[in-house]
């Protein structure tokens, strides 16, 4: 099967993830200045010459031909939709399980009991990621804290499905939405040391710490 550069990029991403290699690690090996070079290849934004493909194949320990013939179906299927009350209980279950996986004692966030009142009716927004069998596999919402600043809340991904792009997809949906509303800043309270992976996640998207446990990014 011949593939276009988007499919080739997706195959590269899939192989990299199967090998547990981060974009940063691969960028370093390739001599790129940061992870964005890999992002552009994986999303098909950049043309990749044969020399670069050979290098990538070397570091991913595959034959270069697999980039053009490999299947691209291993990433989880999910869609992101605006929150609906029918997903409330499963979303709360997913969040409590995610907290448990962080070795925190799970406790219900009161805002999640009534997303409509706490987010939607205020003009803000909340999304859920829906996976196989109509199960909730992720969520995120935002609150307007200053006229043009959104504060993200409750970005969670089902623990068994982490590192497969669901968090990125949720973040991108939220950023796109608030950018279209004309906001110019997005910020997050990152929580205590148990939330280390979220700090690493946001670092990968160039958020910067502006106060203790508060990070932000101009959008």
Ligand X SMILES: CC(C)(COP(=O)(O)OP(=O)(O)OC[C@H]1O[C@@H](n2cnc3c(N)ncnc32)[C@H](O)[C@@H]1OP(=O)(O)O)[C@@H](O)C(=O)NCCC(=O)NCCS
| Per-residue exposure over 28-47, b if at least 16 CB sit within 10 Å of its own CB, e if not | eeeebeebebbbebbebebe
- Tell me whether residue 125 or residue 190 sits nearer to ligand X (CB atom): 190
Q: ∠201-164-66 over CA atoms, to 5°? A: 125
- Tell me whether residue 65 or residue 191 sits nearer to ligand X (CB atom): 191
- As measured in angstroms, the least distance from the Cβ of 88 to ligand X is 18
Task: Using CB under 6 A, list all residues that contact ligand X.
Answer: 22-23, 98, 102, 155-157, 162-168, 188, 190-191, 195, 197-198, 200-201, 204
- Tell me whether residue 11 or residue 198 sits nearer to ligand X (CB atom): 198
- As measured in angstroms, the least distance from the Cβ of 86 to ligand X is 22
- As measured in angstroms, the least distance from the Cβ of 2 to ligand X is 26
Residue nearest ligand X (C-beta atom)? 167
- As measured in angstroms, the least distance from the Cβ of 82 to ligand X is 19
- Tell me whether residue 121 or residue 209 sits nearer to ligand X (CB atom): 209
- Tell me whether residue 6 or residue 121 sits nearer to ligand X (CB atom): 6
- Tell me whether residue 98 or residue 174 sits nearer to ligand X (CB atom): 98
- As measured in angstroms, the least distance from the Cβ of 13 to ligand X is 7
- As measured in angstroms, the least distance from the Cβ of 200 to ligand X is 4
């Amino acid at each position: 099967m011949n593939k276009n550069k988007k499919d080739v990029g997706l195959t590269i991403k899939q192989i990299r993830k199967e090998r547990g290699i981060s974009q940063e690690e691969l960028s370093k090996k390739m001599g790129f200045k940061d992870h964005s070079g890999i992002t552009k290849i994986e999303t098909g934004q950049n043309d990749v010459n044969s020399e670069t493909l050979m290098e990538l194949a070397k570091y991913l320990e595959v034959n270069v031909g697999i980039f053009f013939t490999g299947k691209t179906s291993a990433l989880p299927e999910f869609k992101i939709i605006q929150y609906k009350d029918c997903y409330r209980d499963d979303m709360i279950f997913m969040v409590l399980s995610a907290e448990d996986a962080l070795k925190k004692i799970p406790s219900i966030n009161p805002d999640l009991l009534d997303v409509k009142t706490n987010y939607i009716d205020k003009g803000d927004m909340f999304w859920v990621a829906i996976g196989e069998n109509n199960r909730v596999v992720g969520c995120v919402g935002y609150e307007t804290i200053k006229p043009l600043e959104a504060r993200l809340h409750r970005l969670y991904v089902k623990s068994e499905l982490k590192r497969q792009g669901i968090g990125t997809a949720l973040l991108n949906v939220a950023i796109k939405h608030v950018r279209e509303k004309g906001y110019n800043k997005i910020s997050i309270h990152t929580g205590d040391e148990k939330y280390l992976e979220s700090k690493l996640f946001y670092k990968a998207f160039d958020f910067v710490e502006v106060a203790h446990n508060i990070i932000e990014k101009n959008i």
